Amino acid sequence: MSGHPYGPSPAFVPPMPSAPPPAPPDGVRAAAVAVLNLSGLGLGYALVRRRLPMALCWAATAVLLFVALPADADGVPGAALAGYAVVLLLAAVHGAAVALRTRLTWPGRAPLALLLGVLLLAVPAGGALSYGDAHEEAVQQALLDRLERADRLVAEAGRQPFATARSDYRDALEVYRDLAVHHAGSRAAGRVPDRMRTYYATVGAAYGHRQYCDAIEPLKYLRTVPDTMPGKDLGTLTRWPDDRLATSLYQCGSAALDAGGDDWPARFGDLLGTFPRSAPAAEVAPAVDARVKSAEKAVHGGDPCGAVARLRDLSGSIGDLSRQAGDAKDELAGSADRAGRSGDAGQYACGVAQYEDGDFEAAQKTIESYLSSGAHGGDRARARKIVIAAEVAQALPAAGKKLPTTASGGSITVTVENDSPHDVTVLYTGPVTGSFTLKGCGGCRSYALVDTLRPGFKPCSSGSRNYPHRTLSLPVGTTYFLHKPHGDSTATPASDTARIRPGYIYTECAYTTQTLGSGY
């Protein structure tokens, strides 16, 4: 018997494999891992024991949550969502590839894992729905914040003059319009109609305070708002400014008319052109007519010249207004014509007032204008006397102490002769007033100045010469004479004062030197 000297040989044991043998391919298992990875938690990788890819899924989800939370009106950036979707898709594809030949650690059966994966998809879906609700609430709150900021802007603008606040009103209106048009279903948009009522009341506050002139521009601005805002958000506000603007234009124009301002024609013209059928427009012509009547009465008051100037201004302004007055055209044109005629007639009273105030030059011009206008209503005969007396009084102020009368004639003879080669107009005033012209003296000459300085100088003294003359009959008293060259002569007018007494015969002589002189 033979054998191994050391005893029986031990049995052969093969070496252990380094990893479990690959499982048979299983499509259901691959689908289960892919679906589990789509949850964003890397659970598919956990079931096939792939820790690193699972950690990467967690990290991607954590980054997304960090970016998305807390939810705000801006939402999650599109790039972040796109990137996360790519990560989930890669995790699903890669997980499916790994699980195709890798057994699950739990649960043992692939269909159960697939069912679990489908159920777990509710987690990201529910999260997405919750985030959507949170995002929607954040959007709503952001819109409400915009609405509140616009409200504050309107309130602050209401404490400033409209010219300063106009841009703020426009900015607030743009916010209201954007909410109403682009966010029509939002809670903020639902509050816009109420805000617009506050907006209109704030912008048009000057009207409520009876500050009619200040209210005009804000109300005009409000009439433009319907061009911007949807009608459903304005309702009756669309016509809200119209009656208020018509009233403001009338009240502002009427106040300027009564105060003698310059802008009433523009206010009334705007009213008649914009709201021709309104009740305030119907009041324009009567208001203008009343102002003309008031100015006519003022002609006989303490400032007739001011009243005349007012009537002339009224005539021109009303005439311009009548051309754009529509139905009130004829009535306004009649007022303009009457104001013009009354202004012409009122010049008589104005000239008398200027004469009595000692402004003889102005009085002469005013009365001459009255006479040339052909106006009635004054004493034209006396007006002609006032023109003469005013011209005399410019050289001899004492002649203007009393307003001339229309009296004529007297008991004292005064002869006025012309010792001058020039025609001479003689004006005189005193107890009586008048004027006449003497022809130039043929053969007479102008005296040298030295001649007039010699002792015994006496013009009109040649017994052989028949001087052009005129004989007057004047009352006793002081008469003031003015001799002035007639026509184109450059001789200077001369003046003289004659104290007429009974028992004398008076001679007044006109002569010329380098200027025109006189004596008697």
Q: What is the pLDDT of residues 406-415, one digit of tens each?
A: 999 899 999 9
**Selection from 361, 437, 348 nearest residue 392 by Cα:** 361
What does the pLDDT read at residue 401?
Answer: 94
Average pLDDT over residues 434-462: 87
Structure tokens at 480: 């003031």
What does the pLDDT read at residue 520?
Answer: 42
- Separation between Cα atoms, residue 165 and residue 156, nearest integer Å: 8
**Selection from 406, 413, 401 nearest residue 433 by Cα:** 406
For the segment 179-219, what is each residue's pLDDT rounded down to a tens digit? Answer: 999 998 888 999 999 999 999 999 999 999 999 999 999 99
pLDDT tier for residue 374 given thresholds of 50, 70 and 90:
confident
For the segment 6-59, what is each residue's pLDDT rounded down to a tens digit? Answer: 555 555 555 545 455 565 565 566 666 667 666 666 666 766 777 777 777 777
What is the enclosing helix (H) or strand (E) of 425?
strand 424-429
At residue 95, the 3 state secondary structure works out as helix
Q: Which amino acid is at 192?
A: V
pLDDT tier for residue 400 given thresholds of 50, 70 and 90:
very high
Residue 474 burial (CB < 10 Å; 0-12/13-18/19+)?
A: buried
Fill in the DSSP letter of residue 465. Answer: -
- Separation between Cα atoms, residue 384 and residue 368, nearest integer Å: 8
For the segment 88-106, what is each residue's pLDDT rounded down to a tens digit? Answer: 677 667 766 666 666 666 5
Instruction: Give the predicted TM-score (pTM) of the model.
Output: 0.69
- Separation between Cα atoms, residue 225 and residue 233, nearest integer Å: 11
Q: Which range (12-16, 84-88, 330-334) has the least confidence? A: 12-16
**Average pLDDT, rounded, for the chain:** 83
Is 50 exceeded by the pLDDT of residue 1?
Answer: no
Most distant CA atoms of the chain, gap in Å: 215
pLDDT tier for residue 512 given thresholds of 50, 70 and 90:
confident
What does the pLDDT read at residue 505?
Answer: 85
Average pLDDT over residues 217-238: 93
- Separation between Cα atoms, residue 63 and residue 68, nearest integer Å: 9
Contact 34, 81 (CB under 8 A): no
- Separation between Cα atoms, residue 223 and residue 240, nearest integer Å: 8
What does the pLDDT read at residue 302?
Answer: 92
